[in-house]
Amino acid sequence: MLRIAVCDDDKKTVSAHKELAEICLRKSGSVGEIQVYTDSDNLLFDITEDNFFFDLILLDIEMPGVTGMDIAEKIKPYLPNVKIIFITSHIEYAIDAFELAVFRYVPKEDTDKRLPGAIRDAVKLIELEEGKAYTIQTNSRFEKIPYREIYFIEREGKNASIITVRGVSKVRKSLQQVYEELGAEEFIYIDRGCIVNLIHIMQIKDGMAVLKNERALPISRSHLQGVKEQMNAYWGAHI
């Protein structure tokens, strides 16, 4: 699910931009959560102090207190991959916006025409870059793990350990709960305590699932036939 922030000191403008974003999400078939701000200090606090995560931010440049330019500069260390769409009535800000690697610059007088396209393009790019991802969120931690990076998930006491190309991430949830949250056909049980990502299985040999990282995982007898059938069905539909 995409997380979007809309920040403008004018309440009517915030409402209008939120509505535009909702329409764009519906038309693109994407699911998103939109948070609105009329005070840039609150947005900055949520990101830097409360670890709020956003994929996309619609940001007015000319605001009292902390300006949009200040926000963009200060949040980069916290959200290095966030896409920012600057909205402003002053054309001279465009140069600085590009220097900050801002995704798009939209003049205020032309928002109805140009903002929807900017939002749609940003959403497409975010989804293309990340694909589907599993989110781990606690009071002190936020992590998004792209599905394509997950090798397998195994039960470890009261935790589920997610083994990825980058290492191991643990979440205090049951294996079944994580499986249901993933909700994707490429993840299958090979044993009561292990879920594997089909896209990483190179072969099934001697009752073992051999992965691309050369890890071999045992498949229980009760799951073996089902795993073979699910593999055949998945690759038959995707090749």
Q: Which domains does the chain have, with CATH numbers?
A: 2-130 (3.40.50.2300), 140-238 (2.40.50.1020)
Cβ neighbors of 103 (< 8 A, separation 6 or more) are: 56, 83, 84, 85, 118, 121, 122, 125
pLDDT digits (tens, 9 = 90+) for 24-48: 999 888 888 999 999 999 999 999 9
pLDDT digits (tens, 9 = 90+) for 149-165: 899 999 999 999 999 98
H helices of 33-139, in order, are 40-48, 68-75, 93-99, 111-130
Higher-confidence residue: 125 or 52? Answer: 52
The whole model's pTM is what? 0.56
Res. 96: pLDDT tops 60: no
